[in-house]
Amino acid sequence: MEAKKFSLFDIVYKYGTVAVIAIVILLFSLTNPYFFTYGNITDILRSISIVTFVAIGVTFSLIVGGFDLSVGSTVSLTTVVSASMMVWHEQGPAATLLIPIALAVVVGLLNALLVVKIRIPDLLATLAMLYIVNGVHMTYSKGYSIYANMPMQDGTTAPGKFQEWFLWLGQGEIFSVPVPVVLTFLLVAATHIYLTYTRQGRMLYMTGGNAEAARLSGIPVNRYRTWAYVLSALFAGLGGMLLAARIGTGQVSSGGSLLMDAVAAAFVGFSVFGVGKPNVLGTFVGAILIGVLLNGMTMLNLPYYAYDIVKGIVLALALAVTYYQLRRKRA
């Protein structure tokens, strides 16, 4: 048997992202003694928790060969609605949790209707949904962020406030570990197991790999594509609720910046460990890379307007390596 040729590129492809994270952590640690501390590491993980929720949603749409641009507006929608349930309507846990989740599922079903049933290209359909959902949540909130004691249009102040159980989800700790970090690790583990070890997870990958072959094999392709868009919107919605719990306000248009970070994390994940396809563990590593870079640049007092340049370079390099490797395999 012929020995497999050693390729430096294959090593870079498989372990490059992890190596970059290690190098960046080392450089920032040498530059700032407070970087590699327990408090700062937990701050990084807390900061990427919401991005990870949204990015895992994007990952599900990528797995079936689609792409969901509406996740950012879905984040804004559930952020505002969950806040309004408590601040405007003085509702308890049931309405505060279930109504935003139901709205996120509706967004996912509408995306599936446009993409799967009507067959509008996914980028165009989800772009249209992005504008629609943005308009809905801006109309609902009248363009105002929602917070305790906010002035209302009738001259009174908002009757409710953010409840302690809800704020605990975004600001609390379990054995000195932030609750959002615990929730993120649980989500990553659960979705990885679901995609790797369950029949439904394998069917999702088969649907995205070759939809026609999957259909001929008896797989209900449209059902799995619909399921992927519902999950994409659902995880974005959960991320929006977690964001409201973390900052203690229903910030309008808060999901706009999360969209590109989530997309970057999902696509960087393609190259992690040489998987070459959407995967949850890779997405999480991609989110960590972005979080480490942003945190380190903040601690070095670099100008905030340079952050997008760095994120863009990281994404471009990850995509270049991934697609170059795919061309090599086809050749």
pLDDT in tens, 150-160: 998 888 899 99
Domain contains 2: no
Domain contains 69: yes
99: pLDDT strictly greater than 70? yes
Domain contains 3: no
How large is the average pLDDT for residues 92-114? 97
Domain contains 1: no
Domain contains 125: yes
* DSSP state letters, 288-308: HHHHHHHHHHHHTT--GGGHH
**Model confidence, pTM:** 0.93
206: pLDDT strictly greater than 50? yes
315: pLDDT strictly greater than 90? no
Beta bridge pairs of residue 151: 157
CB neighbours of 303 closer than 8 A, spacing ≥ 6?
none
Domain contains 170: yes
Band (pLDDT 50/70/90 cuts) for residue 163 is very high
Write out the residue range of the structural domain in which residue 147 sits: 8-330
Total of domains in the chain? 1
How large is the average pLDDT for residues 299-326? 81
Band (pLDDT 50/70/90 cuts) for residue 301 is confident
The pLDDT value given to residue 1: 42
Domain contains 187: yes
Is 196 or 17 the better-scoring residue by pLDDT?
196
Query: What CATH number has the domain bearing residue 42?
Result: 1.10.3470
Domain contains 169: yes
Q: Helix, strand, coil proportions of the chain in percent (round to 5)?
A: 75, 0, 20
Is 249 or 318 the better-scoring residue by pLDDT?
249
How large is the average pLDDT for residues 84-96? 95
Phi, psi of 222 (to 5 degrees): -60, -35
